[in-house]
Amino acid sequence: MEGYGKILHVNLTDGRMWVEDTRRYADCIGGRGLNGRLLFSLVKPGVDPLGPDNVLCVSTGPLAGTFAPSGARYNISARSPLTGFFGDSNSGGFWAPELRYAGYDSIVIHGQSPEPVYLSITEERVEIRNAADLWGKDTWETEHLLKDKHKDQRLKVLCIGPAGERLVRFACVINDHARAAGRTGMGAVMGSKKLKAIVVKGKAPVRVARPDQFYKACLRMVDTVRKSRQFELYHMSGVIGHHGREDYDPNGRLLGLIGFNYQTRSVSKSFAEVGGKEWWRTHWTKRKGCAACQMHCSHFYNVRYGPFAGTMNEGIDAEAQCWLHINIGGQSKDLAAYGYNLFNRFGMDSHEMGATIGALMLWYERGIINDAMLRDWKARWLRPKWGDPETILTLIELTARREGIGDLLAEGPYNFAKKIGPDAEYCVLQCKGMTAGGADRRAQKGGLLNHALSTRGADHLRGSPSLEFYGMGADPRIAQDWARYIAEPELFQYATQLTGYKAKPPLVIWQEHLRALSDSFGVCSFNWGNWPNTMVYPDDFAELYSSATGIEATGRDMVQAAERIINLEKAFNVREGATREHDQPPPRWVKEPKTEGIFKGEYCDIDKFNEMLDEYYVRRGWDKTTGLQTRQKLEALKLGDVANELEKMGRLASVKEQAKL
């Protein structure tokens, strides 16, 4: 393939397969953007996410498989069984490049198999094979068995574990042993289709349109990444780069970021123990990385002593450490390491499960649940006090197997909370039904806005701005970039004020665009999408895009592509019933100011938040009051079909509303 290859469609109900050229969708780039475009067309609103009419898209982008830094990633998307909205998750490793060596950029799974199967893909043939002997096995066993079965230790395996098979609503997908597409329950969608794994091995080459230009541009990108603040942080301290490091930010801003005890505390004695320095001292043996990436942020741990001796894996992921330790009053890094291995092997989102545990502990502390209720839930043994190891480990296991109380928890913490009552719902930090991360965003107002707007639910990865943590006196290029790309120069001073509301909407929009592009090019946000931690711009994306695919594009084209991608996801959600009410922050961040620490007193002022939201909608060309999209904006993005469909449903901003803009 040169630049782009093919999209493979597979219908598991009748075994039909067909292909189309990815190039048709080049204006959505690939990866996440391609998935959004495909899902809007292929999925009808209101389908059962665990039924045969949901469609699962697994796509990578035009830089995957090359030596563009971190050209290693794919997105897996569908209607989410956890939220009912746009489900989407991203993962690295080596699976995505291999898909490209087999000639494909994307696999689209339709229908449902009656029996467990797996998909085997090479550039010569695609087969649906029986997976009866794999069903029930954990993801590591599954990968070993498939490599042996195919007599190929270089086979790339993407699979689900018992959690996905049992339709845990936040089950995840694991590839290459140590990588996860964690969020929104894509593992459950795979499980509902009885698809155990997708294995791929490609002997064909990936080519680029202008090799010499591509080579030079990639070397330049490698240099940019190598000199970046992101590199400094994550190369040393792994993905947990910002944990435990009081020295990272002299103003101590990051101390205001981390939440303890499900974001009810802001200081903790144990925090220093979970930083990179400690992990190097106790467990890490080396650095590891994804395909073509020089960040090497994934470190390898080997727990040598104690009850979990022999626990080995790449990690620990930052969110996982939040949810196995920091946020739930945890005391043991070793337990976090072991728990993390369980999540990998069961194929379950550490984040959503950890938030469930955190919620249970908070409900118990506040008397929202009591021993009698625990008895009713077949959990009379449960003592959900902060940090209780038995609680943590047993709940993980029961949920993965949907046994006892695990069957209730497997529905997702917010869905479970709804069964208990409004007090329980209130405690869960969520937007659109997906829980927020381990970081506490009450002080970081841009991050707050981003969480509420994120198209897949509460999440920092779709646009939380890192600029807010820099303050004045940072690299002078940053102010220039602001004036050039983001908004009016006089607003810059406000953008760097962490706790201020002003200037945050354009900053969030900028960050959303960079992340959308990263996620669509098949590269990693750590390298490409986290300005100003890495100084990467739409022009950089444009140059790699053009030299790889031969399609001429400018930085402006890239920004427009990012807008297109965001608008498709927004439209998908609107079609499923999302309104302005779904673009709101978690109530607890509104009603409960921080009680301690350097940002004591910070909270989300809902009026100021709604002013930010109004401004965001207007800057995006949407209706100021409802947030609904306009025909004018959608047609400018060549999404006329989207406008037509939304209009039929009465979910397009009316002409009267448009006139106001």
Partner 1 sequence: MTATTSVRPHPNKYLIADMDKCTGCETCSLACSFVKFKEFNPAYACIRILKFEDSGVDAPVVCQQCEEPRCVEACPRNALVVKSDTGILFIDEGACDGCGTCAVACPYGAISTHPLSARKNKTILKCDLCGGDPECVKWCEIKAIEFVDASERERIEKARENLLMVRKRFEIEHHTPLWKYQ
Rule CB under 8 A: say whether 210 interacts with partner 1: no
- Nearest approach in angstroms of CB 436 to partner 1 is 31
Rule CB under 8 A: say whether 46 interacts with partner 1: no
Show the tokens assigned to 229. 């603040």
Rule CB under 8 A: say whether 290 interacts with partner 1: yes
Q: Among 207, 366, 380, 477, indicate the residue that binds partner 1 (CB under 8 A).
A: 207
Rule CB under 8 A: say whether 229 interacts with partner 1: no
Nearest to 423 by CA among 625, 286, 587, 207: 587
Using the minimum distance from each CB to partner 1, give the nearer residue, 1 or 486.
1
- Nearest approach in angstroms of CB 292 to partner 1 is 5
- Nearest approach in angstroms of CB 228 to partner 1 is 12
- Pick the piece of the chain touching partner 1 (CB under 8 A) from 10-18, 205-213, 249-257, 326-334: 205-213
Using the minimum distance from each CB to partner 1, give the nearer residue, 67 or 280.
67
Which residues, 6 or more positions from 155, have their beta carbon under 8 angstroms from its beta carbon? 146, 147, 199, 200, 201
In whole angstroms, give the CA distance from residue 573 to residue 557: 25
Show the tokens assigned to 523. 């590269």
- Pick the piece of the chain touching partner 1 (CB under 8 A) from 290-298, 387-395, 549-557, 609-617: 290-298
Residue 509 burial by Cβ neighbours in a 10 Å radius (0-12, 13-18, 19+)? buried
Chain center to CA of 465: 15
Rule CB under 8 A: say whether 286 interacts with partner 1: yes
Residues within window 60-99 making contact with partner 1, judged by CB under 8 A: 65-67, 94
Q: Among 34, 56, 171, 206, indicate the residue that binds partner 1 (CB under 8 A).
A: 206
Please check whether residue 352 is in contact with residue 170, taking contact to mean a CB–CB distance below 8 angstroms.
Answer: yes
Asked if omega into 107 is within 30° of 0 (cis), the reply is: no
Q: Among 42, 47, 145, 204, indicate the residue that binds partner 1 (CB under 8 A).
A: 204
Q: Among 289, 446, 447, 627, indicate the residue that binds partner 1 (CB under 8 A).
A: 289
- Nearest approach in angstroms of CB 345 to partner 1 is 12
- Nearest approach in angstroms of CB 312 to partner 1 is 7
Show the tokens assigned to 106. 């994307």
Residues within window 164-203 making contact with partner 1, judged by CB under 8 A: 176-178, 202-203
Residues within window 131-160 making contact with partner 1, judged by CB under 8 A: 140, 143, 151, 153-154
- Nearest approach in angstroms of CB 285 to partner 1 is 7
- Pick the piece of the chain touching partner 1 (CB under 8 A) from 274-282, 284-292, 501-509, 551-559: 284-292
How many positions of this chain bind partner 1 (CB under 8 A)? 39
- Nearest approach in angstroms of CB 294 to partner 1 is 4
In whole angstroms, give the CA distance from residue 403 to residue 397: 8
Rule CB under 8 A: say whether 280 interacts with partner 1: no
Show the tokens assigned to 18. 């067909």
Rg (CA), the chain: 23
- Nearest approach in angstroms of CB 49 to partner 1 is 31
In whole angstroms, give the CA distance from residue 343 to residue 311: 13
Using the minimum distance from each CB to partner 1, give the nearer residue, 288 or 608.
288
Residue 473 burial by Cβ neighbours in a 10 Å radius (0-12, 13-18, 19+)? exposed
Using the minimum distance from each CB to partner 1, give the nearer residue, 71 or 185.
71
Helix or strand or coil: residue 135?
Answer: coil
Terminal Cα-to-Cα distance of the chain (whole angstroms)? 45
In whole angstroms, give the CA distance from residue 54 to residue 167: 14
- Nearest approach in angstroms of CB 103 to partner 1 is 11
Using the minimum distance from each CB to partner 1, give the nearer residue, 72 or 449.
72
Rule CB under 8 A: say whether 296 interacts with partner 1: yes
Helix or strand or coil: residue 126?
Answer: strand
Q: Among 268, 270, 282, 302, indicate the residue that binds partner 1 (CB under 8 A).
A: 302
Residues within window 305-344 making contact with partner 1, judged by CB under 8 A: 312, 314
Rule CB under 8 A: say whether 512 interacts with partner 1: no
Please check whether residue 391 is in contact with residue 374, taking contact to mean a CB–CB distance below 8 angstroms.
Answer: no
Chain center to CA of 219: 28
Kind and range of the H or E element at 156?
strand 156-159
In whole angstroms, give the CA distance from residue 97 to residue 292: 10
Which residues, 6 or more positions from 278, have their beta carbon under 8 angstroms from its beta carbon? 244, 272, 333
Helix or strand or coil: residue 189?
Answer: helix
Q: Among 42, 53, 209, 215, indicate the residue that binds partner 1 (CB under 8 A).
A: 215
Rule CB under 8 A: say whether 213 interacts with partner 1: no
DSSP 381: T
Angle, to 10 degrees, between the axis of helix 555-575 and the axis of helix 538-549? 100
Which residues sit at the interface with partner 1, rule CB under 8 A? 65-67, 94, 101, 140, 143, 151, 153-154, 176-178, 202-208, 211, 215, 222, 226, 285-294, 296, 300, 302, 312, 314
